[in-house]
Amino acid sequence: MIIRLTASCNNKCFFCIVDDEIAQRAFRPLEEIVAELDQAAPDEEVDIFGGEPTIDPVFWEVLREALKTGRRVSLASNVRLFSHRPSAERLAAMADGRLEVRTSLMGHSAELHDKLNGVREGAFRQTLQGIRRLSELGFDIQTNIVILAENVEHLLATGVTAVEAGSSRLKFSGTVRTGKFIDSIADPALVRERLRTIVPLFRALGVPVTLEKLAPCLIPDFLDLLIRDSDPAVDTHPWYEKTRACRACRLADACPGAERGALIRHGRDWVRPLAEIPAELIDEVRVAALERYQPRRDKPFLRVLFDHQDLSSLGVIASFSRQHPQLYLIA
C-alpha cells in the first residue's frame, strides 16, 4: 500500500508526475493515515511516498505507526533532511534495519542537479550528504536517475556519483506526462545507446540496476531489469501509444506502447519491433504480463536472466574512482 504524504515538496522538479496532487492536497491528519494502515493486509508492503514525506508535519508519527505493524516499509525521499546527522540518526534508531530508502539524483554536479530540481542551490549537496549519512548508518539506498535531454550524456557520471556517496542500487527511469516539458524529452535513440553501455558496466561491477518507464524496444538486452508501476497487459493510460511498428513486435501483448511525448518530439523511427526474441522467452513475457503488478515494487518484467557482458567488451580504458577502484571509465 502507498501512504501518500503529497501536500508539499522542497524540490520543484518540472518533470514531477505528482505535482498536480501536491498542488491540490492538504496535509492529512494522522488519524486518517493510521486508519488506512489498519485496513491493509498483514503482509502488504507499506510505501511512504510524496511530495516530500519528510517535511509533512506527521511524517515521524506515520513512520512509527508503519513500522509498528511489522510490515516491510520503504520511504521515497530526496533525503535532504538526513544531511543533518541528528535526523539521520533518529531515522536509523526508529527503523532498526527494517526500512528501505529510495531517493533520486538528477545530475553529477550541483549545477545540473539543482537546475533540474528547480532549487537555486543546496539540493545536490544535501542529497549527497543524506545518502552518505544513511549509508554509513546501514541503510539500503536505491537512487533513481530520471533520464532527460539535459542529463542523458551524464548518466554514467551521475550513477557513479550516487554509488560513491553510498547508494547500493540504481534505477534509470524514463519520463511520462511529458506534455509540459516536451523539449526536455531525451532522444530515445540516444537513450538506447547510452544504456547499452552503462547498464552492463554497473551490473558487471555488482551494482544492481533496474529500469522503469522505458519501452522494451529501447532496452532489448535488459528486459530482465524492466519494472512497471502497473500490469503492462492492461495498461491503457493515455501516456502511451502503440505505433504501426508495434504490431510486429513479439511483446505487443505485454507492452503498453511508446510514450506519446517521445513520439511527438523525436518521431517514430526509434520504435523497433522485437521480432528476434527467442521463442522460449515469449512464454515468460506472457506470464509476467498476466500477473498483478504491485505499485513501486521492483519486480522484473522478465524473470529470465541474461549473461553479463565482459568488461573488455565495453572498451574499458582506466580506473577513475578512488573510493570505488573497481569503477572504470569507458571510451
> Any idea what the CATH number is for the domain that residue 75 is in?
3.20.20.70
| Residue 297 covered by a domain | no
Predicted model pTM: 0.82
| Residue 310 covered by a domain | no
Residue 151, domain extent: 1-173
| Residue 210 covered by a domain | no
Number of domains in the chain: 1
pLDDT at residue number 229: 56
pLDDT at residue number 246: 92
pLDDT at residue number 50: 87
| Residue 248 covered by a domain | no
Closest CA to 80 of 103, 108, 97: 103
Burial environment of residue 220 by CB neighbours within 10 A (0 to 12, 13 to 18, 19 or more): middle
| Residue 250 covered by a domain | no
| Residue 317 covered by a domain | no
| Residue 231 covered by a domain | no
| Residue 166 covered by a domain | yes
Element (H, E) at 35: helix 30-39
Closest CA to 310 of 200, 207, 195, 194: 200
What would the pLDDT profile of 69-84 be if each residue is shown by its tens digit? 888 899 999 999 999 9
Residue 328 per-residue DSSP state? E
The list of the chain residues with pLDDT below 50 reads: 230-236, 278-331
